[in-house]
């Protein structure tokens, strides 16, 4: 399973950059302050709008090269929320530890 | 009697004017686009995070290791131990879908979305007036625009042909980033490289039908007369349709009306109590009513089914004298039928479906005050829910199921995609 840590805390985004995707100039977060750390984003994955009732929410999937961050910007309240962090430890290991079963072993048995 | 024009039809030698665009492993590619650390890794997109859930989309890397769409995650892990399971995120896919639709509509008003990740642009009538370039150049431009407007990881297949069927075949020739054209010059050459089951719409059973008539390859299929296909192979008008389809004549440009609206649910408990089953059924009724109102429809018929753990199937259906579209009415009528089910076994799957659909009379004031009050209440609740989010006001009888039953990504139609995204 993927290793996703749900944070759901308000954060400060202290620097932005602008990029033209298609016809419009859009604003993206560049540096985020969270938990006493400064995280500089190196790449934007995807920005997509969504709604909570009538409130417009912009969801940003960002990465700093070590982990993927999911940020939400509430266009009504003008706040940034860090929703989750998915780190590099992808793969079935963490899941296997939980269930006490390794598909790697099973795969190697089939290979034999 | 076979129609004469069908029997005599040659291969369509018109200029290819239909473009089929197909995003590869759409959900998985969008997830890889959104999360750069997933790029180049085998991922499987699932509707739930459980071991035996179904993989609804697999990335190109996972497919290369044998993972197929529809496989259980458990089986996928055996084939590909490093597969990463990611849960579906409908608003993300909806955003990409909207961008794709906008790109396609900028070339022709005649755009038909076949599903969430594929659509057809019909250029007939627009070529000389608007698009002065070749369709091949437009195909490459669409690929580039998708990268510019969504992200650099996005890729799509483009197929160009005289009809929709051949355009879809062309789009599947060089995955994941191909652009192919099928016309009367290369039709036979391309069909020679394919198997019967490579053709869209020909699976094992149709293949067996064709084989029984001595047709073993797509080329033989192409050379078979329409009468043989109609009378011996398919034994229906489908034979003529296949004859035309393979020759590049358009037969798939039908628009089908909505015939039924419904929902099904595989129960999350092995031994559910009757109360919990009823709560889930009520939730399905509520969402079915919301879907009906979203489409502006009302139903007269109600169908309820239960599939039991032993594999037995029970259903009850009834036509009512009056139409219905409110939550309460759908629930009341479904409960009426559902309470007649046998109680000998534990149910595994339940479903509710409304049929005999007609345009809703929600705007028509009734002579009966009770009916008016019901309609006005439904309208008020719908307005509040659209303002503050789905299920802000909801039925108490389905409350238990709210956090458990989730609307998931559909495989095919995009009819309720907006509604699904609002709920997500």
Residue B98, pLDDT above cutoff 90? no
Q: What is the mean pLDDT of chain B?
A: 87
pLDDT at B202: 92
Interface test with A, best of B30, B32, B37, B389 (most A CBs within 10 A): B37
Q: Determine, for residues B95 and A68 on separate chains, whether the beta-carbon distance falls below 8 Å.
A: no
Secondary structure class of B291 (helix, strand, coil): helix
CA distances from B140 to B137, B178, B179, B355 (A): 5, 10, 8, 44
Cα B277 to Cα B307: distance, rounded to the nearest angstrom: 12
Looking at chain A, the whole-number percentage of residues with pLDDT higher than 90 is: 38
Say if A19 is an interface residue toward chain B (CB within 8 Å). Answer: no
Place of tokens 């993972």: B67
B94 chain-A contacts, CB cut-off 8 A: 48
State the Cα torsion B277-B278-B284-B290 to the nearest 10°: -160
Q: With contact defined as beta carbons under 8 Å apart, do B60 and B27 qualify?
A: no
Q: Is B148 on the interface with A (CB under 8 A)?
A: yes
Dihedral over Cα of B420, B121, A48, B409: its sign: positive
Tokens of B41: 């890794």
Q: Is the pLDDT of residue A101 over 50?
A: no
Residue A58, pLDDT score = 92
User: Measuring CA to CA, which residue among B197, B196, B169 is closest to residue B183?
Assistant: B169
A104 by DSSP, 3-state: which?
A: helix
User: How far B408 CA lies from chain A's nearest CA (Å)?
Assistant: 16
Residue B131: the pLDDT is 64
B107, pLDDT greater than 60: yes
Q: Phi and psi of B213, rounded to 5°?
A: -95, 10
Q: For chain B, say whether A54 makes contact (Cβ under 8 Å).
A: yes
Whether pLDDT at B416 is above 90:
no
- What is the distance of C-alpha B257 from the center of its chain? 14
| Helices B327-338 and B274-294, axial angle in degrees (round to 10) | 140
Name the pLDDT band for A96 (thresholds 50, 70, 90).
Answer: very low
Q: Tell me which residue of B293, B34, B60 sits closest to B156, measured CA to CA.
A: B60
Contact at CB, A53 and B82, closer than 8 angstroms: no
Could you tell me the residue ranges of all domains in chain A? 4-111
How far apart CA B202 and CA B190 sit, in angstroms, is: 17
What local confidence, expressed as pLDDT, does residue A102 receive?
42
Minimum Cα–Cα distance from A60: chain B residue: B34
pLDDT at B15 over 70: yes
* Residues from chain A contacting residue B95 (CB–CB below 8 Å): 46, 48-49
B97-109 average pLDDT score: 89
pLDDT digits (tens, 9 = 90+) for B205-244: 999 999 999 999 999 999 999 889 988 899 888 999 999 9
Distance from CA of B100 to the nearest CA of A (A): 12
The reply to whether B106 touches chain A by the CB within 8 Å rule is no
pLDDT value at A20 more than 80: no
Of A54, A68, A107, Cβ closest to residue B36: A68
Determine phi and psi for B19, rounding to 5 degrees. -115, 125
- The Cα–Cα gap between B398 and B277 comes to 10
The 10s digit of each residue's pLDDT in B76-96 is: 999 999 899 888 888 888 889
> Is 0.85 exceeded by the ipTM?
no
Which residue, among B38, B43, B77, would best test binding to A if mutated, counting the most A CBs under 10 Å from its CB? B77
Token pair 């929902």: residue:
B263
Query: Quick one: which of B381, B378, B298 has its CA closest to B333?
Result: B298
Largest CA distance in chain B: 69
Query: What is the reported pTM?
Result: 0.78
pLDDT of residue B389: 75
At B278 the three-state DSSP class reads: helix
Rounded distance between C-alpha atoms, residue B155 and residue B134, angstroms = 21
What's the order of all strands across the beta sheet hosting B111-115? B111-115, B118-122, B18-23, B156-161, B179-181
Q: Note if the bond before B176 is cis, omega within 30 degrees.
A: yes
Q: Tokens 């239909």 identify what position?
A: B18
B36 close to B21: Cβ distance less than 8 angstroms: no
- Centroid of chain to Cα B79: 27
């Amino acid at each position: 399973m993927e290793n996703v840590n749900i944070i759901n805390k308000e954060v400060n985004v202290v620097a932005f950059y602008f990029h033209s995707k298609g016809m419009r100039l859009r604003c993206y977060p560049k540096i985020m302050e969270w938990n006493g750390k400064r995280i500089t984003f190196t790449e934007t994955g995807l920005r997509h709008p969504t709604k909570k009732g009538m409130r417009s929410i912009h969801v940003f999937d960002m990465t700093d090269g070590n982990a993927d961050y999911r940020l939400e910007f509430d266009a009504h309240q003008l706040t940034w929320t860090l929703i989750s962090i998915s780190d590099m430890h992808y793969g079935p290991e963490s899941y296997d530890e939980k269930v006490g079963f390794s598909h790697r072993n099973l795969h190697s048995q089939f290979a034999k | 009697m076979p129609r004469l024009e069908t029997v005599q039809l040659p291969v369509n030698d018109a200029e290819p004017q239909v473009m089929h665009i197909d995003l590869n492993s759409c959900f998985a590619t969008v997830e890889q686009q959104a999360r750069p650390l997933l790029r180049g890794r085998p991922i499987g997109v699932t509707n739930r995070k459980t071991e035996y859930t179904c993989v609804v989309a697999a990335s190109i890397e996972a497919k290369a290791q044998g993972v197929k769409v529809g496989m259980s995650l458990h089986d996928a892990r055996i084939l590909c131990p490093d597969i990463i399971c990611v849960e579906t995120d409908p608003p993300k896919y909806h955003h990409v879908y909207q961008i794709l639709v906008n790109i396609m509509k900028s070339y022709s008003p005649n755009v038909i979305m076949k599903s969430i990740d594929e659509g057809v642009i019909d250029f007939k009538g627009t070529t000389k007036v608007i698009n002065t370039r070749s369709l091949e150049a437009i195909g490459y431009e669409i690929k580039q625009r998708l990268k510019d407007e969504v992200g650099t990881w996005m890729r799509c297949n483009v197929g160009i042909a005289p009809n929709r069927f051949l355009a879809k075949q062309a789009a599947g020739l060089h995955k994941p980033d191909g652009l192919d054209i099928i016309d009367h010059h290369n039709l036979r050459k391309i069909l020679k490289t394919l198997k019967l089951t490579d053709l869209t719409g020909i699976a094992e059973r149709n293949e067996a039908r064709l084989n029984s008539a001595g047709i073993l390859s797509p080329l033989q299929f192409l050379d078979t007369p329409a009468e043989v296909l109609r009378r011996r192979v398919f034994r229906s008008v489908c034979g003529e349709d296949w004859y035309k389809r393979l020759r590049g004549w358009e037969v798939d440009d039908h628009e089908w009306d909505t015939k039924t609206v419904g929902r099904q649910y595989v129960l999350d408990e092995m031994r559910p109590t009757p109360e919990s089953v009823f709560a889930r059924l009520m939730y399905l009724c509520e969402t079915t009513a919301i879907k009906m109102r979203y489409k502006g429809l009302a139903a007269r018929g109600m169908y309820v089914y239960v599939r039991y753990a032993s594999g037995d199937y029970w259903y009850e259906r009834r036509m009512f004298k009056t139409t219905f579209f409110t939550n309460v009415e759908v629930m009341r009528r479904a409960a009426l039928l559902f309470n007649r089910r046998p109680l000998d076994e534990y149910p595994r799957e339940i479903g509710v479906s409304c049929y005999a659909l007609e345009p809703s009379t929600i705007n028509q004031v009734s002579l009966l005050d009770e009916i008016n009050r019901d309609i006005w209440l439904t309208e008020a609740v719908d307005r509040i829910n659209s303002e503050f989010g789905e299920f802000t006001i909801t039925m108490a009888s389905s409350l238990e199921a709210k956090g458990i039953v989730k609307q998931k990504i559909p495989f095919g139609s995009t009819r309720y995609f907006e509604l699904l995204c609002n709920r997500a």
